[in-house]
Amino acid sequence: MTERVVLAYSGGLDTSVAIGWIGEATGAEVVAVAVDVGQGGEDMNLIRQRALDCGAMEAYIADAREEFATEYCMPALKANALYLDRYPLVSALSRPVIVKHMVRAARQFGATTVAHGCTGKGNDQVRFEVATTSLAPELKTIAPVRDLALTREKAISYAEQHKLPIATTKKNPFSIDQNVWGRAVETGYLEDIWNEPTKDVYSYTDDPTFPPVADEVVITFDRGIPVAIDGVKVTPLEAVQEMNRRAGAQGVGRIDIVEDRLVGIKSREVYEAPGAIALIAAHQELENVTLEREQARFKRQVEQRWTELVYDGMWFSPLKRSLDTFIEDTQRYVSGDIRMLLHGGRATVTGRKSDASLYDFNLATYDEGDSFDQSQAKGFIEIYGLTAKLAAARDVKFGNGVDLGSGTL
C-alpha cells in the first residue's frame, strides 16, 4: 500500500503546492485536511475541490466552529488566558483542534505521517508536532517549508509550471492567521518595531479614534460561560461572534506587542480580538465578585502557568489537564450578570450582579446600616503585624534597623 500523508490544508498557495511537493519528495499520497475554526473567507467546499484539483487523493473537511468555541475558547475564558497579560492565545488555541482532526483523518485513511506548513522560526511548528505526538505518538511529522526547502519563490514557480488552480502573483505583505477568537498579523513592514500599523492591518475592528455612539451590553454567565447577551440566550460560538461584532465596532481588542516566542526570539505581532478581550474583562470582574480572596490569588498563578503551557503547545499535557481541573472547580459560583460599556477602544465594566456574590453591602458601606464591627480591627492588626513587630525589634537590637535617611533607628 502506498504511504499516505495527512496535510494541514488552508487552501492557500503554500499548502496547495505542498500537496504535489510532498508527493514528489516522499512518493506518498496526500490527504488534505481543512478545519473551519471560524476563519471566514472561502467556502470550505471550494477549498476541498481545490485540494483535489491540486493532486490530493482525498480531502477531509471539518466544521469545527462550535467545537473550537466550546472546548477551546471557553476554557481559555475561564482561565482569563492572556499571554504576557495581553495576548488571548488566538493562534495557540486553534492548533490543538486542528491536530485532533488531522489525527482522526490519519486513522481514517491509514496515513503514517502528518504535515504542516510552518517554518522553523515560529511557535506553530511546536504546537502542531507536540500535539500530534501527544495524541498519536506513532505518527511521523514533516514540514515542507522547513524540511523540504519549499520557499515562496519555489511555490510560485511550481504552481505556474503545474498550472495549479491557485493565485501566484498577488502577495499580501502580511502573514495572517484568524479564527473566531481573533486575528493575528505579522511580517512585512511590521517587522520593524518602530513602524506604526496602518489601517489596512485591521479587519475585525474599526478605528477607535472615531467611535460610534457608546454601546451598553449585559453579559450573563453560568459557571464561567457566557449564556446570554442582553437577555438573549447564546451558545459559546454565538457569544464570541456577537461580541466580536459589537466590541469590534468600537475598536476594542487591538493589540500591538513584542512577544517572547517559544523558540527563543522576540517577534512583533499585531492582534485583533474584540470578543475575546471584552469577554475576558467581563469574566474577570465577575470572578472579583464571586471568588474567595485566597482562591482568587492562587488562581492568578494558575492562570499564568496555564496560559504559558497553551502558548508553548502543551494543550494535551498532564500538567495542563490537572490545571483544568482546578480552574473548573473555581467556576462553581461564577454566575451572574456583567454590564459593560463598549466605546472608543475600551470595554469598561459598569455593573455587576450575582446570586452567588461575596460582596455584602452592609459590611462594605460607611453609611447607616454598617454591620462591620470596627472595634475588632485593632486586635486584628496587632495579631497580623506581630511577626513583623518581633522581627523589627530584633533588627534594632542588633543595629540593623531601617535607615530613614537621617540615621539608623
Q: Which residues are annotated as a binding site for ATP?
A: 8-16, 117
CB-count burial class (<10 Å; 0-12, 13-18, 19+) for 202: middle
- Residue list for the binding site: 8-16, 87, 117, 119, 123-124, 127, 175, 259, 271
> What's phi and psi for 229, nearest 5 deg?
-130, 120
- Binding site for L-citrulline: what residues are annotated? 87, 123, 127, 175, 259, 271
Tell me the pairing of strands 225-229 and 232-233.
Answer: antiparallel
Cα–Cα distance measured from residue 112 to residue 109, given in angstroms and rounded to the nearest whole number: 9
Contact 114, 103 (CB under 8 A): yes
Q: Where are the beta strands (DSSP E) in 214-323?
A: 215-222, 225-229, 232-233, 254-260, 266-272
Nearest in space to 133 (alpha carbons), one of 176, 170, 105, 96? 96
Q: Indicate which residues carry an active-site annotation.
A: 14, 95, 124, 175
The strand pairing partners of 337, in sequence order, are 220, 353
Q: If you write DSSP's letter for every residue of 25-92 in order, what string do you get?
A: HH--EEEEEEEESS--SS-HHHHHHHHHHTT-SEEEEEE-HHHHIIIIIHHHHHTT--BTTTB--HHH
